[in-house]
Amino acid sequence: MKDLNASNVDTNQTDNTILQLEAIIEASHDAIIGKTFEGIITSWNNGATTILGYAPEEVIGKSLENLFPTEKKDELPKVLEKVKKGEVIADYDSVCIRKDGTRVDMRFYVSPVHGKVGEIIGATVVGRDITDENKTKADYMKSKQFFDEILNTISDPIFVKDNQCRFVLVNDAEVAMTGQKREDQIGKTTLESYPKSEADVFLKNDREVLATGKESVSEEKLTDAKGVTLTIVTKKTLYMDALGNKYVVGIIRDITDRKMTEEKIKIFSDAIACSLDCFLLTDIEGNVTYANESSRVTFGYTLEEFLKLNISSLDADPQNGKKVMQVIKVAGKWSGEVTNIKKNKQIFPSFISVYIIKDKEGNLKGTMGIIRNITEQKKAEEKFKMKYDEMQRLYNATVDRELKMVELKKEIEILKSKR
């Protein structure tokens, strides 16, 4: 009697377990389908009805192939062959046709069903509707492609690094500037791509942005793949995603050419500043915008006073200065001797050369004047002239004396001949 009661208890427990499993299967949102190895459907849960639209009685006893579009029907036999061998097919993506004829993206998990003695008697197919998931992925890929296309149209190099200072994104401009392939940079830090002296600076600034969240703008040196060292200005800002992950977003401006131009301008400026000639810059109306040290010494004005003057006021005859400006605007340049006047009203002679300044579009922007005080030159010329005149008088006197001696000799000869 005890054995019989125990048997009844085991049977009841088994029945309860089966009922629980059936309830779980029916309550599942996934499609759970039982089938034979011939592909005949043997069971069909509510999840399958919700996803595919068929009631159990409409599909049980029919081939599972009917649920697949024509181009996918040959996939099922291949899957069943693997399951017959005891394999479990996970994450098998395919497409099914709903009762209303629309398509649904599905991800299947196919596993063998074993009999009482362990033999494989069929297969269970668990399918999940991934249409929305695929649409989300497609939308993401579309938006990512759109984002990448926009990013790659930006002429400034752009990069993104993770919280370990590893590159996760670089645009085409960055690849072009550095000469390094995108795949050679992604997942690596600058220590693996650049000289240590440069990489240390990059990493220091990256970590500072990650730690403080403050924007960083710094001038740096970067050696490209060809070994050419560039001068760059990098602006780095912190980006934090919805999960709290931190990223450094950097925008680079290559200022190598600008720095070279600045160096040339500095050399030119130093040469002008040290020149003994006066260098003056004006706007198109002749108002002084720059005066070098020699100009200040020569004319006696401070720089602040110069910047309030019109260059024509430096001419002893202001009207002449205005005429010169008019000629320059037409001819583009003028040179010649003029008489200038200092702050203390002292007048001195000078030789000036004035050139027009134009911008890249050819518009008149101002003038550059070079003034040389020729007072000493004029004095030297005057001394030379006086010496020359004196020598000329001596020469003339000597020639005159010689001529008189010749005449005297002739007269003596005539007198001798008359004796």
* DSSP designation for 66: G
Q: What's the confidence (pLDDT) of residue 190? A: 92
Name the least confident of 136-150, 220-234, 297-311, 335-349. Answer: 136-150
Residue 63 DSSP code? B
The percent of residues above 70 in pLDDT, for the chain, comes to 94
Give the per-residue pLDDT at 17.
60
The CA angle 400-402-408, to the nearest 5 degrees, is: 105
129-133, 217-221, 262-266: least confidently modelled range: 262-266
Dump pLDDT digits (tens) for 171-230.
Answer: 999 999 999 999 999 999 999 889 999 999 999 999 999 999 999 999 999 999 999 999
pLDDT value for 2: 44
Closest of 20, 49, 46, 45 to residue 35, by C-alpha = 45
Task: Please report which confidence band the pLDDT of residue 262 belongs to, taking 50, 70 and 90 as the band edges.
Answer: confident
pLDDT of 387 over the 90 cut = no
Query: Rounded distance, CA 127 to CA 32, Å?
Result: 6
User: What is the mean predicted confidence (pLDDT) over 281-306?
Assistant: 92
CA–CA separation, 174 vs 168, rounded Å?
A: 13
Strands 216-223 and 278-283, bridge-based pairing: unpaired
Q: Tell me: the pLDDT tens digits for 57-107? A: 999 999 988 899 988 888 878 888 888 888 898 888 999 999 999 999 999
For the ranges 23-27, 89-93, 146-150, 198-202, the one whose mean pLDDT is highest: 198-202
Q: Residue 299 — very low, low, confident or very high, per pLDDT cuts 50/70/90?
A: very high
Mean pLDDT across the chain? 87
Express as a percent the part of the chain with pLDDT over 90. Answer: 45
Domains in the chain, CATH or no CATH each = 19-135 (3.30.450.20), 154-259 (3.30.450.20), 275-373 (3.30.450.20)
* pLDDT for position 6: 45
Q: What is the pLDDT of residue 9?
A: 46
Closest by CA to 315, choosing from 279, 354, 347, is 347
pTM of the model: 0.49
